[in-house]
Amino acid sequence: MSSREEEVLRLIALGRSYKEIAAELNIGVKTVESYRYRACDKLELKNRSAIIRYAGQRGWLNNS
């Protein structure tokens, strides 16, 4: 997984919308969706709940 895909997943897990993520990273909403899709495909994550569980296992939610 690329660092950008990881960053997008982390922000999704923190509850940010695609629009908020796009604004924060200076990319388009469609690009955010693409990063999410590719990361979820690589990690076999099916939904936002799975992303949040993954983020918790990685410790991403403890540093926010």
Diameter over CA atoms, the chain: 28
Looking at the predicted structure, is the pLDDT value of residue 64 above 90?
Answer: no
Nearest CA to 12 out of 29, 36, 28 is that of: 36
pLDDT band at 63 (very low <50, low <70, confident <90, very high): low
CB 13 within 8 A of CB 52: yes
In a domain, 63, yes or no: no
pLDDT at 16: 96
In a domain, 35, yes or no: yes
In a domain, 64, yes or no: no
Please give the average per-residue pLDDT across 40-56, as a whole number. Answer: 96
Structural domain count of the chain: 1
CATH number at residue 13: 1.10.10.10
Nearest CA to 29 out of 18, 40, 37 is that of: 18
What gap in Å lies between CA 53 and CA 32, rounded to an integer? 20
Domain range enclosing 54? 3-58
